[in-house]
Each structure stands twice: as structure tokens, then as C-alpha cells.
């Protein structure tokens, strides 16, 4: 693995020797400030505040394609930053209760084929950056039955996503509502 580049900070020898002038300190701090700004832009981070959630997506359209699969298309024409990721949630309950809701990460793609099983499922979509909270979800116009060979209600209950705990997770979390989960929270 290559060594990451070290920011070019002027006047370090003068600062180390104790001979730096106020102007040389200013130049060194300006170089560090520029390096932090460059890194913040590259990773969609903000050293001064949390990164805001992206704008709400425009729409989500599911189409049942049979065998228990739904083809999902998200429309999002908002101004966004590189690193945006999309999520689709489906549930047998239109209120998206945690135990009935499953999260399907779509990554940067706005299209996905999702195995949902048979029986009516409700879908919604949203976006998030890995460094932000999720946007507000947008709901599909109505339930879809993908006509699969397995029931949509079969399997484990929904366990949430991201930094949400497995115990009483909130839906619509994406990467999570908080940057990190304390070690002793959740199962």
C-alpha cells in the first residue's frame, strides 16, 4: 500500500528551530487550512459541522417483474456531491414498522432489481452520504405484488441499517442517523 501524501506545509524547519516569524506561522497555518479543505471536499466531510442530508429524491417507481422481484427506478435530479448512495426499503406494512421493513442498499445506482417475494409490499426510497443522515423518504404510489415463490413476510424481522441498533431500530436510516453507535448498544 503506498504511503499517503503528506501536505506540503511551508516553514516547518523554521518553526521547529524556534526561529519562525509571524508571517511564516501564517503561511504554515494557511497550508494546513488548505489541506483540510481539500480533504473535506474529497471525502464529503465538514470539519466544522455535520454534513447535511442530501435533498429528498424526486420519485421511486417499482415494477413487478415476476419470480418475486421488483425493478426499482429512483429519479433524483437534485444537485448532489460525489459519494451519494440510494436506498430502497420494502415492507408488508404501509407504515414501515421496523419488524416488517427491509433495507436494500442500491449504492450509487438509481436502478435495482430487488427480491421481495410474493404478496403486497410497499416501497420507499431515499438517499444519503456515508457522512450524513438520510434524506426524507419518498413513497411509491402503491403496493406491488412481485408474484414470487416465497412470501414477503418470511425470514428474519427487519434489523435496521447503518448505525441503528438491532433492538428497536428506526427505519429509513441508510448509513444511520448518528455517526457512530456506542459499543454496548444493540444486539
The pLDDT tens digits for 96-151 are 999 899 999 999 999 999 999 888 999 999 999 998 999 999 999 999 998 876 66
Tell me phi and psi for residue 35, to 5 degrees.
-65, -40
Q: Chain-wide mean pLDDT for the chain? A: 88
Query: Distance of CA 10 to CAs 13, 32, 50, Å?
Result: 8, 9, 30
Domain 48-179 belongs in CATH node 3.40.50.720: no
**Phi-psi label, residue 184: left if phi above 0, alpha if psi -120 to 50, beta otherwise:** alpha
The residue ranges of every structural domain in the chain are 12-43, 48-179
pLDDT value at residue 11: 94
Residue of 174 and 63 predicted with greater confidence: 63
pTM, two decimal places: 0.80
Q: For the sheet with 59-66, list strands across it.
A: 59-66, 69-75, 111-115
30-34, 82-86, 180-184: least confidently modelled range: 180-184
Amino acid at each position: 500500500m503506498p504511503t499517503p501524501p503528506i501536505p506540503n506545509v511551508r516553514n516547518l524547519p523554521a518553526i521547529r528551530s524556534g526561529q519562525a516569524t509571524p508571517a511564516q506561522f501564517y503561511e504554515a497555518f494557511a497550508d494546513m487550512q488548505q489541506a483540510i479543505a481539500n480533504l473535506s471536499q474529497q471525502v464529503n466531510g465538514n470539519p466544522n459541522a455535520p454534513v447535511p442530508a442530501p435533498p429528498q429524491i424526486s420519485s421511486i417507481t417499482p415494477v413487478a417483474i415476476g419470480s418475486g422481484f421488483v425493478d426499482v427506478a429512483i429519479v433524483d435530479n437534485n444537485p448532489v456531491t460525489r459519494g451519494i448512495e440510494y436506498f430502497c426499503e420494502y415492507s408488508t406494512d404501509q407504515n414501515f414498522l421496523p419488524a416488517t421493513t427491509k433495507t436494500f442498499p442500491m449504492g450509487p445506482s438509481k436502478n435495482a432489481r430487488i427480491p421481495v417475494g410474493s404478496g403486497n409490499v410497499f416501497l420507499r426510497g431515499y438517499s444519503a452520504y456515508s457522512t450524513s443522515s438520510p434524506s426524507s423518504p419518498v413513497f411509491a404510489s402503491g403496493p406491488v405484488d412481485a408474484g414470487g415463490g416465497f412470501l414477503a413476510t418470511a425470514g428474519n424481522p427487519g434489523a435496521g441499517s447503518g448505525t441503528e441498533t438491532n433492538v428497536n431500530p428506526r427505519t429509513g436510516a441508510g448509513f444511520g442517523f448518528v455517526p457512530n453507535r456506542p459499543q454496548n448498544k444493540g444486539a
